[in-house]
Each structure stands twice: as C-alpha cells, then as structure tokens.
Structure 1
Amino acid sequence: MSATSGEVVAFDNVGLRYGPDREVLSDVSFTLYPGSFYFLTGASGAGKTSLLKLLYLAQRPSRGAIRMFGTDLITLPRKKLPAYRRRIGVVFQDFRLVPHLTVFDNVALPLRLSGVPEVDLEKPVADMLEWVGLAHRGDSKPATLSGGEQQRVAIARAVIGRPDVLVADEPTGNVDPDMALKLLRLFEALNRLGTTVVVATHDVHLLRKVPESLIMRLDRGRLSDPTGALRYPPRRQTTSGPAS
C-alpha cells in the first residue's frame, strides 16, 4: 500500500451535483484505512451510488478534495486516472458481464487489459474460479448462469488483479439470503488479505454479519458515523483467502 499517511482514501468536504440541480452529496468527509471493511447504507436515493462513483473514479466531485493512495485526485491529469482505477475492483449490482465471452474470459479480461501474457492467465483465473466455486463453469456464457453465479463471476473479475480497494454496489440485491451470505464471506476473505472493502447495501441484516465492519450511513446526501467508521484505525490483517 503506497499511501504514506496510513490512509487509502480521504474525502474532505466533498460535494456533488448533476447540472443545476441541488447537490446529491454535501460536505462528505471520511477516511478509509487499509484492511478495513465498511458498509455504506442509506435509503434509496440517499446518494450511495453517487458516492461509489466518486470512489471508483467514474465521477469527479463538484467541490471538495479527494486523496487516494496518497495522491490528490482533484489536480491529477485525467490521463493518469487509469493507473489508479486499476487498483480499485468494482462489483456492480447488474453484474455487467460481457455476454459473448465465457466465464473464464470475463474473469481474465482485467489481466488481459493490463498486458498479462496469455501463457500466464490460466492459473490465476482457474484459481479465482475455484475460489468463488465456479471452476466447473469456465466455458459457460453469462446467459446460462443463475443470478448468484453471475454475481460470483463479477466478484472474481473485480478481484483477479488483487485490488487495494474493492467497491460493491448492492451486490446481494439480486440473490437469495443464502447466496447473499456466501457472497459476503467472499468479501471477508478478500478483506483478510488486506484489501479495503466498501459494500453499499440497504439490507440492514447484512450489517450484523460482519462483526468487525464499520458503518457509514447516508441520509439525503449527508454522511453520518454510527460505528466510528470515519476515524477508525487499521486493524490487524491475516493472510488467508484465494490462492495466488
């Protein structure tokens, strides 16, 4: 982790508006620390997705400051953003798998885009599919998978590059409670490797499933701190998780 101050991400009085409308995020300040697990919660329309877009660099704020991995992103030239995006894994609620690619090729896609030679793809992709319980589905197309299987493929694709930060937008919204718990355990395993995890959810039952998690709550674009998430220091990490 290259952030010299012990932080991964820091927002300082960030505001976001779309066009002339009122701000969808107002005066948002928080720090994410290495190896911590965060839930971002709030009612529909509270601004969760907008905040996540700022986190995975799909959107720039209207005002305020954002630091990531020790770098001021507000002044960073746009041509340098892709290098930072590659350090962030994103799991979308609607999966966003490439329909004409197999499961194997969907998971391999980030490695191919980063220039990993074909000869070096087989083992890490196979290991990742084994980790998410889909080793037998590598040759399948997304349309033949269940919702839970598609979500696990999306998670595998998001984490194949061992990101410093994993951002998940309502990842359990399209699956049953048993599968939701399984997905959550995958996030926990990655978190134990040292990845900072941020899961946006409206499901209050999930919040109790990860005892060491921290909660950030959005209400009409403003952030509150029910568990001390905004000032929580890094916790001890372990080294169990997916195979290298």
Structure 2
Amino acid sequence: MSAIVQFENVGLRYGLDRETLSDVSFSLASGGFYFLTGASGAGKTSLLKLLYLAQRPSRGVIRLFGEDVVTLPRKRLPGFRRRIGVVFQDFRLVPHLSAYDNIALPLRVAGMKEDEVDAPVAEMLNWVGLGDRGDARPATLSGGEQQRVAIARAVIGRPEILVADEPTGNVDADMARRLLTLFEALNRLGTTVVVATHDLPLMAQVSGAQMMKLDKGRLADPTGTLRYPPRARADQDGGEGA
C-alpha cells in the first residue's frame, strides 16, 4: 500500500518553550489502522493536530496525499481538510445546531443536495444509538451522547483519513466496542484510521492494527502489529456492518 501520510524529522515548538515533538518520522499506509499511545503530555494531541492540519510544524516535512502540506498555500488547505475526518477530545459540536444538523454539516459543506442528506444522517444517528435524539441540541446531551454525535459527524462523509482523539473516553464498554466496529467498517472501505487512546484492551480488539508510541515528544517504539485475542477475530469476521 502507498503511504498516505509521511512525517520526516518533524519538530513542533509552541512559542519559546522546548519542543513538544522532536524528530518524529513515520509513514502511514493508505487503508491502514493505527493506534497512537503514550503517557499524558507525551505529545499525542499535538501530533494529531499536525495530521489534520490545525497546526504547522516548526521544522521537518509532512506529506499528505502525496503533497508537502508544510509549504501548501493556505487557500488549498480547506480542500485537504475536507478529506480528513476528526473526532475531537472536546467534541466541538456547533451549539445552536441539533444533533441531526451537526452530523449533516460535512455533507452540506461538500455540496450534497438536501434531499440526499436525510437517509445517511438518519442511518448514522441509529448506528450510534441516538435515533430518537436527532432534534436535541448539544447542551441537552450527555457527554457520551455528544461524543457519539461528534464521531458520527466525523465519519459520515467517508473521509480518506480519520483522526480520533480518545474517541471512547466518554462512553461505556459496549458503546466503545460498537464505535470501534464502525471505525473498522470505515477502514475496510479504504479509510486510513488513526486513534489516540490509553485503552489497551480496546487496541487489542482490532486485528492487524499498528501501534505507535510517543514518549516525551519522540516516537519510542517502531510500528508493530498488535496481538489480539481469538474472540476479537471471530467478532470481526462475523461482526456488524456500518
């Protein structure tokens, strides 16, 4: 598989502080599934910001979709960002929009006709267990419900890259597994998935996933295939669809 993401000796510094990320180099294969781990403060969120183009590095080269995005003209950045789905740790839902309209937002921005929006949004609301909450505004939803809306919004457009920062941190174990199954289904359709998480049992459930570990702003371990229990393979082979 060709590389969809390439980092070469990337460093990131905020202001005059010491580097948050130092000499980070890796490649992500198109269609791969990756977990990003590391202690709190290791730089996971900063690395994800570079991936979804919310931050430019202080040094080094980043290529997405075969192009150097560090030198990319700002007018081209929105087009690249539309190819990347993001699940933020703090949700970032639009407060005055309903759950339905938050999820529909990427489709409308992409220019989908309004009569084509309803079916995929309704399907996604049902998938994340919020079929009866489409009219609810974020302030009336629990943290777990807001997280599910945020995930539905990120995946509804079938992005080429999905970046998720602790996506199961506000849901119970059953919903965490259901959401992970959704990510796996999207991955099987060709989306490259990058999930930052501390949940080691969750990581072990994805067959063939790769793990990257950050330690004080540096990649500590080479990427390696995760082990997974026999039950996880059975679940995947006969599991739910999206």
TM-score by length of 2: 0.88
Deviation at 1:210, TM superposition (A): 1.3
Hey, what does 2:212 align to over in structure 1?
216
SS of alignment partner, residue 19 of structure 1: coil
Q: 1:173 aligns with which of 169, 172, 184?
A: 169
Hey, what does 1:89 align to over in structure 2?
85
Hey, what does 1:77 align to over in structure 2?
73
Distance 1:49 1:149 in 2: 22
Distance 2:168 2:153 in 1: 16
Partners of 1:87 and 1:163 within 8 A in 2: yes
Distance 2:172 2:158 in 1: 27
Deviation at 1:226, TM superposition (A): 4.7
When the two chains are superposed, the root-mean-square deviation of aligned CA atoms in Å is 1.8
SS of alignment partner, residue 228 of structure 1: strand
Q: Which amino acid aligns with 2:181?
A: R
Hey, what does 2:103 align to over in structure 1?
107
Deviation at 1:95, TM superposition (A): 1.3
Equivalenced residue count is 229
Pair 1:228-2:235 in alignment: no
Q: Which moved more, 1:107-116 or 1:57-66?
A: 107-116
TM-score by length of 1: 0.88
Distance 2:221 2:111 in 1: 40
Q: 1:139 aligns with which of 135, 139, 163?
A: 135
Which blocks of at least 5 consecutive residues in structure 2 are unaligned?
Answer: 226-236
Deviation at 1:126, TM superposition (A): 1.8
Which blocks of at least 5 consecutive residues in structure 1 are unaligned?
Answer: 230-237
Deviation at 1:121, TM superposition (A): 1.4
Hey, what does 1:28 align to over in structure 2?
24
SS of alignment partner, residue 168 of structure 1: strand
Deviation at 1:159, TM superposition (A): 1.1
Partners of 1:93 and 1:172 within 8 A in 2: no
Partners of 1:189 and 1:241 within 8 A in 2: yes
Distance 2:3 2:10 in 1: 17
Distance 1:120 1:207 in 2: 35
Q: Which amino acid aligns with 2:216?
A: R
Percent sequence identity over aligned pairs: 73
Q: Which contiguous aligned blocks of 4+ residues in structure 1 show a shift greater than 3 angstroms?
A: none
Deviation at 1:188, TM superposition (A): 1.4
